Amino acid sequence: MTQLKLISLEKSYNNGTPVLKNVSLDIQSGELIVFVGPSGCGKSTLLRMIAGLEQITDGTLEIDGQYMNDMPASKRGIAMVFQSYALYPHLTVRDNMSFALKIAKYKQSDIDAAVSKAAKALKLEDYLDRLPKELSGGQRQRVAIGRAIVRDPKVFLFDEPLSNLDAALRVETRIEIARLKESMPDRTMIYVTHDQVEAMTLASRIVVLANNTVEQVGTPLDLYDNPDNEFVAQFIGSPAMNLLPGEIVATGKQTKVKLSDNCVAVSNIVTSESDLGKQVNVGIRPEDLSLTEDDHVLEAVVDITEALGEYTLLYLKHVSHAANLVAKVPGTHKSLRNKLIKFIAKPSKIHIFHDGISMR
């Protein structure tokens, strides 16, 4: 059982500009934490600081209560799986997986047992005598994961492990990783990705990183249902949440926002009289917009339709909302193209943001 504590971690590279600031996080034993965020936000840097591959500029890293900032990578009880697999090309799968244990002078019988167990868990038993070049990308990544497993680390770190795989293999390997985690409930894992679908499907908790720090931490559905700010609202969920500018015209148990085209959005968010007149953004997920003939929250011309079988994405042109708006409606609706269409959303699905922060 292994807990990690990140206390006000900071990182600046040589040029002095901070890449990460004030990153604080408690990671419990057995969690699968996913760091997600746009490219360049510092996800890999944070992972490498935990691994001991990158120096910590300021703040404290603790593993099981022990100060880790100066501990060499090899002594942290951590194994890392990289996007590039980093396998030895001239060694077989078996030898790649045995390598670290051989260096650590394990008994051959223990090495064989560990490799055989990992190969079984990762369905690699038939490939143990092959070289990496004789494997598919997905199999190579499984070998890389196997190499981490045999060391029986306290903490597993994954740095974008699926990025080099094609779409189908990505899904397959993602499910393998989820299974693997289930088979090791007491192992703590930290996983970095820029892909919010991977984050949503794998994480026990997601850490959204952006603007050099942590934007929000929560379970996947918590972030989806209750984003703290516009950044998280638009980063989690695809297509991104629509944002419509407006002004609060009624407060109380329900809040009414008059939008710039005079439509009124009714939200279950509770506000007080002092909120009256505030300029806000109303947030509505594409999947929360439904077609209607009656009272509507949005009326727009359908510019482009993308029919995906199960649902249709409607890209909307709106007279006064400049932003790109999207609706995701069940079924096939190609015939809506170029028509003026009305949409409604339930008050429980209407988010309101003031200065970018949720008013919830």
Select 83 or 251, whichever has its Cβ closest to ligand ADP: 83
Which residues partner with 242 through β-bridges?
Answer: 284
Round to whole Å and give the CA distance between 167 and 262: 43
Select 73 or 357, whichever has its Cβ closest to ligand ADP: 73
* DSSP secondary structure string for all residues of 168-213: HHHHHHHHHHHHHHHH-TT-EEEEEES-HHHHHHH-SEEEEEETTE
* Residue 185: Cβ-neighbour burial (10 angstroms; 0-12, 13-18, 19+): exposed
Phi then psi dihedrals of residue 81, to 5 deg: -115, 125
Minimum distance from residue 44 beta carbon to ligand ADP (Å): 3
Host H or E run for residue 109: helix 108-121
Distances (CA, A) of 297 to 113, 255, 303: 63, 14, 18
Minimum distance from residue 11 beta carbon to ligand ADP (Å): 8
Round to whole Å and give the CA distance between 288 and 282: 13
Of 127, 166, 170, 169, which is closest to residue 146 (Cα–Cα)?
127
Select 44 or 96, whichever has its Cβ closest to ligand ADP: 44
Minimum distance from residue 10 beta carbon to ligand ADP (Å): 13
Select 46 or 282, whichever has its Cβ closest to ligand ADP: 46
Q: Is 295 helix (H, G, I), strand (E, B) or coil?
A: coil
Minimum distance from residue 284 beta carbon to ligand ADP (Å): 29
Minimum distance from residue 123 beta carbon to ligand ADP (Å): 29
Select 42 or 246, whichever has its Cβ closest to ligand ADP: 42
Minimum distance from residue 196 beta carbon to ligand ADP (Å): 13
Contact positions vs ligand ADP (CB under 6 A): 13, 19, 37, 39-45
Minimum distance from residue 215 beta carbon to ligand ADP (Å): 13
Select 13 or 67, whichever has its Cβ closest to ligand ADP: 13
Select 41 or 128, whichever has its Cβ closest to ligand ADP: 41
Query: Going edge to edge, which strands form the sheet with 264-267?
Result: 264-267, 255-259, 242-250, 279-284, 351-354, 357-358
